[in-house]
Structure 1
């Protein structure tokens, strides 16, 4: 049982907030200090690339911090960690702890160049971009991933002129593979989509492409990925590998320190590999495991969910569950009213990942099937309405 009296949570996003709530729900009655880098209370990020771009929307979580006994420090960005002394240093001073939870999330990657480029990660980012999106605005989106697909959807609805630059041969080819990416390609028809070309730099007039072309732009939004926010952990002694390395209980190499959400590189017994989730669902569900592992370490709780994320783009709800590799096979699953999906399976026939378009019910079924380790017959599931049920494993002689 944890006997310390002070827990510090670094990070004012969903993972940090849910950690505070999970600790109280698990019965911890000691001090909790939440260090928020931004000067605003914790808020929900998914709406920032959707409804928050079309009008003012309050995405702040409805939480009674005083009632929960949580000391919230706004504008307290962490700059260093001393595990030996058990002290987090922020821009406004030192914060001692008995246990520490790192939930600092991730930061967007930006391009070289002195030209103005925007990213979309915070509420202030969304507010600034919302003020730019109006009829006739020449918007260039660098990267055709999930976030920029959602921004493009909104910008086109506001009659912006949208150009999209993608280094790969099609949007989302990396996470979904070439066949699925090709099937989704027509969705981008209203935008000027330029694939197989990179950006050298962003200058005052706009981005300069790898073929020398300058795209004159009023607004440039860079959406080429994020990196875990771990710079402040330099010299801390924690193991770092694409994020803060944690075990299946989200504990770091220091038994008094945990990490959760986008910043964590967690070990997955399910997949036998280390996963950097960087999706809302991990930040939402992981904190319960942190609280259990911190307060009841003898129970050794395991956080190993089937990964899940979603995107609303071009009038479609896209949902993905599981974890696919390049060696997995894939079949399309077609349904009624334009609904469709894709299923991936490994060499043993086990379902590893599933994509659904406009069909949340089938996403739920797929998530349950992946969790059970269902072995599928590819031909029998090409109809989206077909059940994802296990077939007998092939016999060997």
Structure 2
């Protein structure tokens, strides 16, 4: 059975009765936008949105920026749930799915559904052995940001574990607040799991420019209150003699995330090795009338010829429209977006679109020593991915060209003075 045919499509395409009860588990961007999209597309039946956190549903990207720096109290969505007639249940943890009974169990009792949408997002990975150690923080929730605000205000010595997107954004905010920051990364470069070495190489210099220290090839042996101890074989840019013990009034861990699907392990729903729900190209799971959207779900991409798991905001914004349309029995195109995300770090606006894994050519547009430059990935001369640093026009035009699979003239595409759209053959 193909991925596109893993669920009974004919059964799903039939129009649904208007009174069907849709239950959405997860009140982040994906869950909230699913509720909004259902109403916008004309669904009139009951909608229940269940969220584990007690706070009014909020957007996560500002947590590592405005909220963390005290420039905003929160980042609540501007959504009137009462006007939408959405039953909002907050502070309710969902513990189990009983698909045969069409119910989800919660701490407050079972919730029956006719259609279920799983939008539980992802949990940040913790540093082994750090649980319960005072001063160790994650940055995923509003409560996490609230705990970190006074750390920044006190201008503490901070160690960040992980030089990925979250690590870089937090280090940026901490330096803006006047903290001494050391970032330790087990790999040989920042963003090692996201981008190739030649692209991330110039990004390493951004840390020093901001006044943060970046320690590469640095693995954490253990964390104690007030310090981080590195393994004996950890080095600093390949050099020996760097200190193994780092003073740390606070430790912020940013080493990745895993789909928040533990409550589904005994439900019979298909999960992939990462723990993500296996969804088809309409975001339907292997269980009847159960959908998955956002960070907790992987989906097949015909554009890239592989299954994608996208842990970014734009995926949580776009997927709900497909889910809502399919729930309503409307005609809907296969879900196959061009992945997109952005990051604000060290005074730079970094944007990425596409998926570069299958590219056969890498092109530079501009000098990475400058403030603004881009990298293009081509496959048989068609643009498949793009990284833009301070070049938003490249991103905007490139994203459209990826969607169109338009062939480019590589020589013109590599010329930063030529608009990308003018490089189309």
Q: Same fold (TM over 0.5)?
A: yes
CA offset at residue 139 of structure 1? 0.3
CA distance in 2, matches of 1:71, 1:344: 45
CA change 1:65–1:391 in 2 (3 A) is closer
CA distance in 2, matches of 1:385, 1:305: 28
Secondary structure of residue in 1 paired with 2:387? strand
- Once the two structures are superposed, the pairs formed by residues 232-247 of structure 1 within 5 Å of their partners are 232-241=263-272, 242=274, 243-247=276-280
Note if 1:186 corresponds to 2:219.
no
Which sits farther off after the overlay, 136-145 or 379-388?
379-388
State the shift of 1:331 in Å: 1.5
The alpha-carbon distance between structure 1 residues 25 and 373, as it changes in their structure 2 partners (threshold 3 A), is same
- Residue 207 of structure 1, aligned match among 192, 211, 228: 228
Tell me the alpha carbon deviations over residues 63-88 of structure 1, each in whole angstroms, 9 at most, x when there is no partner: 11111111111111111001111101
- Could you tell me how far apart the structure 2 residues matched to 1:310 and 1:380 are? 25
Partner of 1:122: 141
Aligned counterparts of 1:47 and 1:155: Cα–Cα separation in 2: 14
- Secondary structure of the corresponding residue to residue 250 of structure 1: coil
1:340 equivalent to 2:373? Answer yes
Q: Is the 8 A contact 2:33 2:320 kept in 1?
A: yes
Q: Which residue of 1 aligns with 2:247?
A: 216
Partner residue, 2:328? 295
Report what 2:418 is aligned to: 386
- Aligned mates of 1:134, 1:193 — CA distance in 2: 22
Where 2:258 maps in the other structure, the secondary structure is strand
Which of 332-341 and 31-40 deviates more? 332-341
Is structure 2 residue 340 aligned with structure 1 residue 308? yes
Instruction: Give CA-to-partner distance per residue, 1:359-386, whole Å, 9 cap, x none.
Output: 2121000001111112223332222232
Match of 2:62 in 1: 47
Q: Deviations over 1:178-199 (max 9, x none)?
A: 1111112211101111001211
Residue in 1 that maps onto 2:349? 317
Q: 1:80 aligns with which of 92, 96, 100?
A: 96
Q: Structure 2: any 5+ residue segments left out of the alignment?
A: 1-14, 234-243
Task: Please show how residues 146-161 of structure 1 align to structure 2 within 5 Å.
Answer: 146-161=165-180
What is the number of equivalent residue pairs in this alignment?
A: 390
Quote the Cα distance in structure 2 between the aligned partners of 1:351 and 1:198.
Answer: 36
Name the SS of the counterpart of 1:21 in structure 2. helix
Correspondence list, 1:272-291, <5 A: 272-291=305-324
More divergent stretch after superposition (371-380 vs 231-240): 371-380
Q: Match for residue 73 of structure 2?
A: 57
Partner of 2:4: none
**Stretch of structure 1 that moved more, 27-36 or 330-339:** 330-339
User: Among residues 19, 28, 39, which one is paired with 1:13 in the alignment?
Assistant: 28
Q: Distance in 2 between matches of 1:365 and 1:300?
A: 25
Partner of 2:153: 134
Whether the 8 Å CA contact 1:53–1:126 is kept in 2: the answer is yes
* CA deviation vs aligned residue, 1:14-44 (integer Å, no higher than 9, x gap): 1100000111111111111100000011101
Q: After alignment, is 110-119 or 326-335 more displaced?
A: 326-335
Q: Is the Cα contact below 8 Å between 1:351 and 1:373 reproduced in 2?
A: yes
Tell me, in whole angstroms, the C-alpha distance in 2 between the residues paired with 1:69 and 1:321. Answer: 35
Counterpart in the other structure of 1:395: none
* Structure 1 unaligned blocks of 5 or more: 393-397
- Asked whether 1:251 is paired with 2:272, we answer no
How far apart, in 1, do the equivalents of 2:220 and 2:99 lie?
Answer: 40
Shift of 1:233: 0.2
Structure-1 residue corresponding to 2:3: none
Secondary structure at 2:82 match in 1: helix
SS across alignment from 1:215: strand
SS at match of 1:84: helix
How far 1:319 moved relative to its partner? Answer: 0.3
- Residues of 1 paired with 2:333 and 2:363: CA distance? 35
CA distance in 2, matches of 1:265, 1:288: 16
Normalising by the residue count of structure 1, what TM-score does the alignment of the two structures yield? 0.94
Partner of 2:294: 261
In 2, Cα distance between the equivalents of 1:49 and 1:279?
Answer: 14
Q: 1:144 to 1:269 in 2, by over 3 A?
A: same
Mark the CA change 1:224 to 1:67 in structure 2 (over 3 Å): closer, same or farther: same
Using the TM superposition, give the Cα deviation of residue 145 of structure 1 relative to its aligned residue in structure 2, in angstroms. Answer: 0.8
Using the size of structure 2 for normalisation, the TM-score is: 0.88
8 A contact 1:244–1:263 mirrored in 2: yes
CA distance 1:196–1:327, shift in 2 (3 Å) = farther
